[in-house]
Amino acid sequence: MASNCYPCILDRAKFESDLVLSSEAEKKAAVEELVDFMARHKGGVPALVGTERERIIKRRSGKSDPYQLLKEESNRVAKSLLPVAERFYEEADDKIEALIRIAAAANSMEFGVKGHDFDNSTFGSVFLITLRERLAGDMEEVKRRLRSFKNIFYLTDNSGEAIFDLFVIEKLVEMGKSVVIGSKSKPILNDVTAEEIRAMTSERVVPTGDVVGTSLEHLSLEASAFLNDPDWLVLSKGMGNFETISEYDQMLSGRLIYVFRAKCEPVAMKMNVSRGTLVACPV
């Protein structure tokens, strides 16, 4: 936890309370419960504190998926923009870099992050620009790994974004790769769930837990097998996965690639980039 993680987590609690709680008293009680939890759990990993926030909001609202309507809207927006991604890929000289750019740009589809402005209604107007933004990281090593590994464990992040991930995965399979998708066991934030993504693909999908990010303590045995197998490259989407996997990424050294937009200052500082930068980082 950095100093600016605390107000960011609380801002998102207010954002989510406004989505699913009706009265000011209910919203205040939810935020105060989170404040009490944060006071007792200083430090730690922001994603895991965020997980407790999600549990508080779900329990108090009675909504198992507070982001459901936003997720559905994000999927509709992403589907409408998929031809832009397809054209960008077809016109690209470097197909692998184009796929990574699509995957990274799609990670913009995130709500409630302090300092990151995203709106489903305006994303279409900036998506092509986003695809051409600076992409930080060792792209030569990223491309080397994607060429050298036959097996890829692809950890998804947000709904909407996942529509583009499935396009990327389709192209990787066409290149001869074997891809297994890891998605959330149950709704958490606006992340796509294993059940939701199974309805959109014939590729194998395994659940990765019901917490923000990918935590070893909450990982299914099925998903653990891919993390522990040296024959599998792990492509990790999103900041939540970065926050959690970076706690144990030494065990994945040489077969891990982080892909995301650095939407918050602490993550951007960790990656030594400006906030908002697209990142493709091999570890």
**All domains of the chain, ordered by start, with CATH?**
5-61 (1.10.8), 68-282 (3.40.50.10880)
Residues 6+ apart with CB under 8 A from 221: none
This prediction has a pTM of 0.93
Render pLDDT for 165-181 as a digit per residue (tens, 0 to 9): 999 999 999 999 999 99
Residue 4 pLDDT grade (very low, low, confident, very high; cuts 50, 70, 90): confident
Dihedral (Cα; 211, 216, 222, 223), 10-degree rounding: 70
| 189-217 pLDDT tens trace | 999 999 999 999 999 999 999 999 999 98
Chain-centre distance for alpha carbon 274: 19
Q: Give tens-digit pLDDT for 116-146.
A: 455 666 777 778 888 999 999 999 999 999 9
- Strands of the sheet with 135-136, listed across from one edge: 135-136, 278-282, 256-261, 232-237, 151-155, 178-183, 204-207
Task: Give the model's pLDDT for residue 92.
Answer: 97
Q: Transcribe 119-148 into DSSP letters.
A: -HHHHHHHHHHHHTS-EES-HHHHHHHHHH
**Can you give the pLDDT at residue 42?**
85
Mean pLDDT of 92-109: 95
Q: What is the pLDDT of residue 110?
A: 65
Across 37-41, 97-101, 264-268, the highest mean pLDDT is recorded for 97-101
The answer for 200, left when phi > 0, alpha when psi is -120 to 50, beta otherwise, is: alpha
Q: Does pLDDT of 112 surpass 50? A: no
- Dmax (CA) for the chain in angstroms is 56
Q: Are 149 and 255 in contact (CB under 8 A)?
A: yes
- Give CA–CA dist 146/154, Å, rounded: 12
Res 13: pLDDT: 95
Q: How far apart are alpha carbons 29 and 17 in whole angstroms?
A: 10
- Quick one: pLDDT at residue 114? 47
42 Cβ contact partners less than 8 Å away, ≥ 6 residues apart: 1
d(CA 8, CA 254): 32
Place of tokens 């197998």: 229
Q: What is the mean pLDDT of residues 235-245?
A: 95
Residues in the chain: 283
Whole-angstrom distance, CA of residue 281 vs CA of residue 188: 25
